[in-house]
């Protein structure tokens, strides 16, 4: 009677399968940062950006229109911003397929949890 656990072809297959699964998992994570840099910048004239009052510089927010805005609020410390380390732009969950300015702001601003 042969022992299935000692079969070298089975060991090879299991090793290959585990390696492939690890590579696919890693491959799904690593390119995300690379793709983020390739996203087009959100144009403040875009209808979705205008609907949320998006500006590329938080200092340009109209205090008359958004009286609750504080100068310390910007995309880089918003919970919707998906920061790319060291980048002035990054993806935002509110504007899929676009990157927003780290120093930008919109009316959907929600502070990151501490």
* Residues in Cβ contact with 25 at an 8 Å cutoff, skipping those fewer than 6 apart: none
Express each pLDDT in 9-67 by its tens digit: 766 666 656 666 655 554 555 454 445 568 999 999 999 999 999 999 999 999 999 99
CATH for the stretch 39-114? 4.10.490.10
* Among 1, 95, 18, CA closest to 49: 95
Whole-prediction pTM value? 0.67
Query: Which segments within the chain are labelled E, that is strand?
Result: 89-91, 99-101
Query: Which segments within 18-113 are labelled E, that is strand?
Result: 89-91, 99-101
Report domain extents, the chain.
1-37, 39-114
């Amino acid at each position: 009677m042969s022992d299935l656990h000692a079969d070298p072809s089975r060991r090879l297959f299991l090793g290959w399968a585990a390696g492939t699964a690890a590579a696919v998992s890693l491959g799904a994570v690593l390119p995300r940062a690379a793709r983020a840099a390739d996203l087009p910048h959100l144009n403040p004239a875009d209808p979705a950006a205008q609907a949320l009052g998006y500006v590329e510089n938080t200092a340009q927010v109209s205090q008359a229109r958004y009286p609750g805005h504080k100068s310390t609020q910007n995309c880089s410390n918003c919970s919707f911003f998906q920061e790319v380390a060291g980048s002035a732009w990054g993806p935002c969950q509110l504007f899929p397929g676009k990157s927003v300015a780290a120093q930008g702001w919109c009316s959907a601003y929600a502070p990151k949890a501490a």
